[in-house]
Amino acid sequence: MEAPVLLWFRQDLRLADNPALHAAGGRPLLAVYVLDDAAAGAWAHGGASRWWLHHSLAALDAALRARGVALHLARGEAARIIPALAAQAGAAEVHAGRLLEPWARERDKAVHEALGGRLVLHTSATLHEPHAIRTGQGRPYTVYTPFARTLFARGEPAPPLPAPERLHGPDLPGLPLEALELLPRDEPQWWRGFAADWTPGEAGAQARIARFMAQALRGYGEGRNLPGTERTARLSPHLRFGEVSPRQVWHAARAAGAEGEDVFLKEILWREFSYHLLWHRPELPERPLDPRFAAFPFEPDDRLLRAWKAGRTGYPIVDAGMRQLWQTGWMHNRVRMVVASLLVKQLLQPWQAGAACFWDRLVDADLASNSASWQWIAGCGADASPYFRVFNPVLQGERFDPKGDYVRRWVPELARVPDRFVHKPWAAPDGPPAGYPAPIVPPERGRQRALAAYAAMRAAADPA
């Protein structure tokens, strides 16, 4: 009897364009997913991601069963479970998509050793292996634009691989999905509304791609900045869990051939750049890449942080974003920048605190993208937003949500405020509606506080 292959699903919860699955080559297959919170430590899935993972695993199991095998679920130390399952099944090889997080890289070394070198990793979550992209001087990239230019110059990614029609393999019963305890137990059950916005799983990802390419790719360059409209792809959680591959998305955009295509593909390359940074700078999630920012005079304040998390800052577009996040597990990208800028620059709260909140609440919480983007907005990362760029939440709202459609949807207290005051209700003749807070920091003070803090940081880093 032919020895089976153990396929270790991780960040590639799909059957189409799955290089690890393709490498099995029709041999008997044992499909496995292991929930290993201990190895991930602080970067174990947050609450919103766990909700998504629960439903994504259910969808993957159904897709596998339709082809002849079941998904074996396990919980615990993958460095012990994977070699044990391989031995039990008599697997000749273990195949998996490569993970790029520092903790996962360490775990893969342990599994590789325990298997006697029989762990085979494949490029699955990214277009290219991060270590394979280098500057002309042979160094990693630290600036996005030349990085993106290099990847465009490499030409088109290889075509996606088809999904197998039939699978077969050993039946080793695992845990029921409920035993992974992924659905959050918080009260109130804030995640109950997620299902109205999202369909986790490979089929849901393909449906969203088709809808976006047909309806919103044309004019994406401008439309992506308008949070009150449905003009973004909202593919980030599907990419995060590997329900769709980046090259599937890339080729779908190319096939659509609409205006806005390259702008959209640059978003895929920003994700790629974030993984490049995480691979070469594993401290990215916790420490500023720019060492000068170790001296930044943050003023941690639980009261300010709680108001920001609750969408009670008094700045309508910020409050709308935080409430959208709480109710849907997602936030429009333009609003993410404004929300983050207020927290870090005007309120002087550590960017790590904002990143931790997003990690728990986002269904697309991705260690590379989340960390790189927070460092960018704080001004301390690679290719970072300059320290003097302080997003004005009023002007941002007036420019990108001019009629207040986005704000009124998520902050119903402001439903009757006239358009001209919807982003600054304190300036309305009757003031803000009862119950809506005044700005947590006066508009004129926020930028001044930020610039003073940056000046103090520069003086501490370079006292001469």
CATH of residue 264's domain is 1.25.40.80
290/280 Cα distance (integer angstroms): 14
Question: Is 268 a member of any domain?
Answer: yes
Q: Does residue 108 surpass a pLDDT of 70? A: yes
- Give residue 463's pLDDT: 66
- Give residue 297's pLDDT: 93
Q: Are 67 and 145 members of one domain?
A: no
Lowest mean pLDDT among 104-113, 163-172, 286-295, 440-449: 440-449
H/E stretch holding 9 reads: strand 5-9
Confidence of residue 244 (pLDDT cuts 50, 70, 90): very high
Report in angstroms the alpha-carbon separations of 31 from 64, 91, 261, 359: 9, 11, 36, 28
What does the DSSP 8-state code read for residue 392? -
Q: Does residue 184 surpass a pLDDT of 90? A: no
With tokens 């591959």, the residue in question is 245
Provide the number of structural domains found in the chain: 3
Confidence of residue 461 (pLDDT cuts 50, 70, 90): confident
Q: Does residue 384 surpass a pLDDT of 70? A: no
Q: Are 312 and 447 members of one domain?
A: yes
Q: Does residue 124 surpass a pLDDT of 70? A: yes
User: Among residues 269, 255, 248, which one has the least CA distance to residue 206?
Assistant: 248
Q: Are 409 and 267 members of one domain?
A: no
Report in angstroms the alpha-carbon separations of 445 from 3, 305, 345, 394, 453: 68, 18, 11, 13, 12
Q: Are 132 and 114 members of one domain?
A: no
100/389: higher pLDDT: 100
Q: Considering 280, 309, 325, which residue would you say is the last residue of a domain?
A: 280
Specify the CATH number for the domain of residue 100: 3.40.50.620
Q: Does residue 191 surpass a pLDDT of 90? A: no
Judge whether 298 and 349 are in contact, CB under 8 Å. yes
Question: Is 286 a member of any domain?
Answer: no
Confidence of residue 464 (pLDDT cuts 50, 70, 90): low
- Give residue 262's pLDDT: 92
Q: Are 304 and 437 members of one domain?
A: yes
63/202 Cα distance (integer angstroms): 9
- Give residue 387's pLDDT: 65
With tokens 């904002």, the residue in question is 354
Q: What is the pLDDT of residues 209-226, one digit of tens each?
A: 999 999 989 999 999 999
Buried b (16+ CB within 10 A) or exposed e, 84-117: ebbeebebebbbbbbbbbbbbeebbebbbebbee
Confidence of residue 359 (pLDDT cuts 50, 70, 90): very high
Q: Are 248 and 306 members of one domain?
A: no
Judge whether 461 and 337 are in contact, CB under 8 Å. no
Structural domain of 209: 126-156+201-280
Q: Does residue 305 surpass a pLDDT of 80? A: yes
- Give residue 33's pLDDT: 98
Question: Is 394 a member of any domain?
Answer: yes
Read off the amino acid at residue 210.
Answer: A
363/361 Cα distance (integer angstroms): 7
Q: Are 131 and 76 members of one domain?
A: no
Mean pLDDT score of the chain: 95
Q: Are 271 and 360 members of one domain?
A: no
Q: What is the CA radius of gyration of the chain?
A: 23
Q: Are 43 and 76 members of one domain?
A: yes
Q: Are 35 and 119 members of one domain?
A: yes
Confidence of residue 193 (pLDDT cuts 50, 70, 90): confident
Confidence of residue 276 (pLDDT cuts 50, 70, 90): very high
Q: Within 10 A of 239 (CB to CB), how many other CB atoms are there? A: 22
458/464 Cα distance (integer angstroms): 10
- Give residue 270's pLDDT: 97
- This prediction has a pTM of 0.96
Distant-in-sequence, close-in-space partners of 397: CB < 8 Å, separation ≥ 6: 315, 316, 317, 338, 404, 407, 422, 423
Judge whether 233 and 256 are in contact, CB under 8 Å. no
Q: Does residue 329 surpass a pLDDT of 60? A: yes
Q: Considering 280, 303, 328, which residue would you say is the last residue of a domain?
A: 280
Buried b (16+ CB within 10 A) or exposed e, 26-55: ebbbbbbbbbbeebbeebebbbbbbbbbbb
Question: Is 185 a member of any domain?
Answer: no
Q: Does residue 1 surpass a pLDDT of 90? A: no
What number is the average pLDDT over the span 356-366? 97
Question: Is 463 a member of any domain?
Answer: no
Q: Which residues pair with 93 in a beta bridge?
A: 5
- Give residue 400's pLDDT: 98
146/32 Cα distance (integer angstroms): 39
Question: Is 408 a member of any domain?
Answer: yes
Question: Is 161 a member of any domain?
Answer: no
Give SS3 for 264: helix
What does the DSSP 8-state code read for residue 442? -
Read off the amino acid at residue 189.
Answer: Q
Question: Is 355 a member of any domain?
Answer: yes
H/E stretch holding 395 reads: helix 393-400
Query: Residue 406: phi, psi to the nearest 5?
Result: -65, -45
Q: Are 349 and 299 members of one domain?
A: yes
Q: Are 296 and 349 members of one domain?
A: yes
Q: Does residue 122 surpass a pLDDT of 60? A: yes
- Give residue 385's pLDDT: 66
Residue 409 buriedness (CB in 10 A; 0-12 / 13-18 / 19+): middle
Q: Considering 82, 108, 124, which residue would you say is the last residue of a domain?
A: 124
- Give residue 458's pLDDT: 85
Report the share of the chain in percent with pLDDT over 70: 98
